[in-house]
Amino acid sequence: MTKHPSEANLALYAGGELSRWRRWSVERHVAECAACRDAIAQFSALREQTRAMAELPDVDWDSLAAEMRANIRLGLEAGECVAERSSPQHLGFSLRGVAACASLAMLLVVSFLIERPAPRVAELKTDEAAVIETSGSGIQVKEGGRAMMLLNARARTVEYQASGSAMGARYVDSDTGQVTINNVYVQ
Amino acid sequence: MSMCSKWITAAFAGAMALSAQDVPFDPHSSIEIKLPPDSPVALLSTNVRDSGATPRGGAMVIDLHMALSLRNSDSRTIRGITLLVTAQEVTAGGKASVAVPSLNVAPGQAFPVRIDLRLLRPLQAGAGPLVQVSLDGVLFEGLDFYGPNRLNSRRSMTVWEMEAERDRKYFKSVLASSGPEGLQREMLNSLARQDERPHIDVRMSRGGRSVTSVGEPERMARFAFLKMPGSPVEAIDGWAEVAGNEARTPTIQVLNRSSRPVRYVEIGWIVKDRQGREFLAGSVPAAEGDLLLPPGQTGRVLQDTALRFSRNAGEPVPIGGMTGFVSHVEFADGRVWVPRREALSAVMAPSPEEQRLADLYRTKGVGAVVEELRKY
């Protein structure tokens, strides 16, 4: 078996971001290495989750941009007023300083809008069909921007099976020695 | 830096620090565990240590790790349990179940059930518990059942228990004829078969809608069928729409060869890739309440889903062929048929009991398996 690729290369492979030569080299290795296959599966699952989480709330960018322009204009005008009355030595409230203040204030507004609990998120893509998928870590049902995943914690090997409207994962729990059968259903 | 700039920098840093903080999360109030008043199991304790919530962008990731301790408060030995897990606020139509078959819990004994969940939901949450856990069913020795059976766990657990009885009987006969060495060979073979089974990722959507744009022309592919000796039902014809690595709307015609009416049949579904490697894709079950097959009559089993197969983190597995086999049958009187052990092929999954015993051998050796078989 060839040498294990680095974690960075496995992560890039999972995202389809390796060069053709590196990709070929990693493919050759993972064909024989279950551990690296698992690592890639985990990176892919993580990538999927990150993608789902990265979706931003609906922000009205046009009105936000207009508001930002208006605030910057206001800042510049205020700066001009101050500049007329001040001597050139008073750099604390210079035009550049006010413009910088306005930009930072805008940055705060944008970061607050992105981070704050936005009620609209609750309506994210609810018209999307629910999809169930398996990954190295469990079975996930996704619906719009929401997801529920039953994790295969403490499993050595997992048997996945689709049956009707359900996807099942069966494994032996390494803590209890019990067989656990997880099923996730979609309507 | 002027005083004004310093204030702005401080305010900016403060705002960033606030946005990165974890939101308060109480796992106990996020979970509701409901057992009926006459439940044959009692909840002794719930451990939610290691649970937590992390905000990510406009959403929240919640990891719930529940270790439940239950006690058999009935007078019969428990053979299996199924818990229903719902998170209505997260997925309106989604639900899940956690089943533990192959149990041997005597009256008064405690046993653990673990539920590990990850939820992704908007930051703004409604009031009330996020996850509800309830009892769907308990199977006792002798195949007696208790529970609301909303997920048809009675049938699933009966099938698992009958397979368990079949496999324990087989391993006991090996032990009697070939001793611990013979049993050890069986366990090693079982572990090797489990390790050799190809691991496939499956993506499923309802309604037979495509889960991806595969870009390959669609064709109607026919099923080949494995004969299962002694099966009361025979699969006589079947097809599915196939395009690349995606199969849609499998449909199978079945004939009741027995003298008793059949109310449910499940067809195991083996998919072969273009290199000839076979893997168990799943099963095609009859829709609940749709099938009542009198003796000698034919019926149709249809699954309105689209399945996409991949391996190695997204590499598509193009479908070259499909094989079906009758995996279990339920008669109108509730009795269940499962295949004989000698009819099973390597591509079929081992029973949960075989999986448990093989794992017991792997961790504790053949002596533990012998001791375990003596308990039944």
Do B186 and B266 share a domain, yes or no? Answer: no
What was the pLDDT predicted at A2? 74
Contacts of B100 (CB under 8 A, 6+ apart): A178, A179, A180, A181, B80, B81, B82, B111, B113
CATH architecture of A1-55: Orthogonal Bundle (1.10)
* Burial of B188: CB neighbours in 10 Å, binned 0-12, 13-18, 19+: middle
- Same domain, yes or no, for B277 and B170? no
Check if A75 contacts B (Cβ < 8 Å): no
Write phi, then psi, for A100 (nearest 5 degrees).
-65, -40
Looking at the fold, whether B213 and B344 belong to one and the same domain comes out as: yes
Contact A170/B352, CB-based, under 8 Å? yes
Please say if the pLDDT value at position A60 is more than 50.
yes
Question: Which single residue is written with the structure tokens 């766990």?
Answer: B153
Q: Determine the residue of chain A that is closest to B361 in CA distance.
A: A177
Domain of residue B338, CATH code: 2.60.40
Domain-located, residue B366: yes
Q: Does residue B333 sit in the same domain as residue B215? A: yes
Cα–Cα dist B105/B77, whole Å? 5
- pLDDT at position B183 is 97
Nearest CB partner across the interface for B100, out of A13, A126, A180: A180
In which band, very low, low, confident or very high, does the pLDDT at B19 lie, cut at 50, 70 and 90?
Answer: very low
Tell me how close the Cα of A66 comes to any Cα of chain B, in angstroms: 22
User: Which residues lie below 8 Å from residue B128, measured CB to CB, with a gap of 6+?
Assistant: B32
Average pLDDT over residues A46-50: 65
**Interstrand relation of B131-140 and B31-34 (parallel, antiparallel or unpaired):** parallel
The pLDDT value recorded for residue B14 is 46
Burial class (CB in 10 A: 0-12, 13-18, 19+), A119: exposed
Reading the block at residue B126, the tokens are 């409604």
Tell me, yes or no, whether B181 and B261 share the same domain: no
Q: What does the pLDDT look like over B54-89, one tens digit per residue?
A: 887 778 888 889 999 999 999 999 999 999 998 876
Q: B92 lies in a domain? A: yes
Is the model's pLDDT at B236 over the cut of 50? yes
Q: Is residue B265 in a domain? A: yes
In a domain, B43, yes or no: yes
Are the beta carbons of A150 and B92 separated by less than 8 Å? no
Mean pLDDT of chain A: 71
Q: Is B244 left (phi over 0), alpha (psi -120 to 50) or beta?
A: left
Distance CA A71, CA A92 (A): 20
Residues contacting residue A2 through CB under 8 Å, at least 6 positions apart: A25, A28, A29, A32
Verify that B95 and B178 share a domain, yes or no: no
Q: Which residues of A, range 40-59, sit inside 8 Å of B by Cβ?
A: 40-41, 43-44, 49-50, 52-57
Number of domains in chain B: 3
Residues B29, B136 within the same domain: yes
Query: In a 3-state reduction of DSSP, which class is residue B77?
Result: coil
Predicted confidence at residue B186, as pLDDT, reads 96
Judge: A121–B123 Cβ closer than 8 Å, yes or no. yes
For residue B50, is it left (φ>0), alpha (ψ between -120 and 50) or beta? left
End-to-end Cα separation, chain A, in angstroms: 45
Would you call A169 an interface residue with chain B, using a CB distance cutoff of 8 Å?
Answer: no
Residue B13 lies in a domain: no
**What is the structure's pLDDT at B31?**
87
What is the pLDDT of chain B when averaged over all its residues? Answer: 86
Chain B contact for A151, CB < 8 A?
yes
Same domain, B129 and B181: no
Task: Indicate whether B192 and B210 sit together in one domain.
Answer: no
* pLDDT per position as a tens digit, B258-286: 999 999 999 998 989 888 888 888 888 87
What tokens does B264 get? 């449910």
Model-wide pTM > 0.90: no
C-beta separation of B203 from B211 below 8 A: yes
Closest partner CB to A162 (pick from B101, B207, B307): B307
Which residue among B61, B96, B204 places its CB closest to the CB of A150? B96
Mean pLDDT of B368-376: 95
Q: Are residues B42 and B131 in the same domain?
A: yes
The pairing of strands A159-163 and B278-285 is parallel
B257 and B187 share one domain: no
Q: Which residues of B touch A175 (CB under 8 A)?
A: 114
CA atoms within 13 A on the CB side of B60: 24
B123 and B183 fall within a common domain: no
Instruction: Quote helix, strand, coil % in chain A, to nearest 5.
Output: 50, 20, 30
Please state whether B303 falls in left (phi above 0), alpha (psi between -120 and 50) or beta: beta
Say if residue A82's pLDDT is above 70. no
List CB contacts (< 8 A) between A50 and chain B: 56
Categorize the per-residue pLDDT at B92 as very low, low, confident or very high, splitting at 50, 70 and 90: low
Q: Is B321 within the bounds of a domain?
A: yes
Q: Which of A92, A149, A163 sits opposite B118 (nearest CB)?
A: A149
Q: Is residue B12 situated within a structural domain?
A: no
| C-beta neighbour count of A31 within 10 angstroms | 12
Q: Is residue B6 part of a domain?
A: no
**B165, HSE (Cβ side, Cα atoms, 13 Å):** 13
Q: What residues does each domain of chain A span?
A: 1-55, 61-121, 125-187
Among B208-217, B239-248, B363-372, the least confident range: B208-217
Top residue of B9, B50, B83, B91 to mutate, by most chain A CBs within 10 Å, is B91
Q: How far is CA A75 from the centre of its chain?
A: 35
Cα B66 from Cα B86, distance rounded (Å): 14
Full residue range of the structural domain in which residue B57 is found? 22-151
Nearest CA in chain B to A10: B313
Question: Beta strand pairing status for B78-86 and B95-100?
Answer: antiparallel
- Two tokens, residue A127: 């018209």
**What ipTM was estimated for this complex?**
0.87
- Chain B interface test: which of A114, A143, A172 (most B C-beta within 10 Å): A172
CA distance A67 to chain B (A): 19
Nearest CA distance, B116 vs chain A (angstrom): 5
